[in-house]
């Protein structure tokens, strides 16, 4: 399980948690790592490189430790987005602001042509959350 020195130079190891915290650039709390002319999520790069694994369509790299900046391959596992959402709910990390009734209204607003940015601002959620609802990728009712 060897990661390149250039990668490891951007990691700070937390001896209490065992997390390898990414110290370089981040997007939405996840590390970003430039490799072979492409920007990768640092945790995805760490897992696929350490285990010489090629992610299949629909697979994501999830955190056992719930620390978005952690790149310790031992703290990561492969699953689907649904596995990731189920893990979040099981660990009671879901802080969703939307209810089932909100999602119904959001879908109607999308059909009526409201922009994702506008809807997100109304409900106090990210544009990504609205896009996920629009594309049927995810929604967990609370």
How do the pLDDT tens digits run along the chain, 142 residues long? 689 999 999 999 999 999 999 999 988 788 999 988 999 999 999 999 999 999 999 999 999 998 989 999 999 999 998 888 788 767 766 556 777 777 888 888 899 999 988 888 887 788 888 888 888 776 544 3
CB atoms within 10 A of CB 52: 7
CB atoms within 10 A of CB 9: 9
Q: Is 136 left (phi over 0), alpha (psi -120 to 50) or beta?
A: left
In degrees and rounded to multiples of 5, residue 70 shows phi and psi of -75, 135
- What's this model's pTM, rounded to 2 decimal places? 0.66
- Which residues fall within 8 angstroms of residue 127, CB to CB, at 6 or more apart? 116, 117, 120
């Amino acid at each position: 399980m060897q990661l390149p020195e250039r990668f490891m130079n951007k990691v700070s190891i937390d001896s209490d948690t065992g997390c390898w915290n990414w110290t370089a650039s981040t997007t939405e709390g996840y590390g970003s790592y430039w490799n072979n002319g492409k920007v990768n999520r640092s945790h995805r790069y760490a897992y696929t490189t350490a285990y010489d694994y090629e992610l299949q369509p629909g697979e994501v790299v999830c955190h056992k430790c719930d620390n978005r900046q952690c790149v310790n391959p031992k703290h990561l596992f492969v699953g689907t987005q649904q596995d990731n959402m189920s893990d979040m709910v099981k660990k009671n990390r879901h802080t969703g602001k939307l209810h089932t009734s909100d999602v119904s209204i959001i879908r109607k607003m999308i059909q009526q042509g409201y922009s994702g940015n506008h809807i997100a601002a109304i409900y106090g959620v990210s544009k990504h959350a609205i896009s996920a609802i629009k594309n049927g990728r995810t929604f967990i009712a609370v």
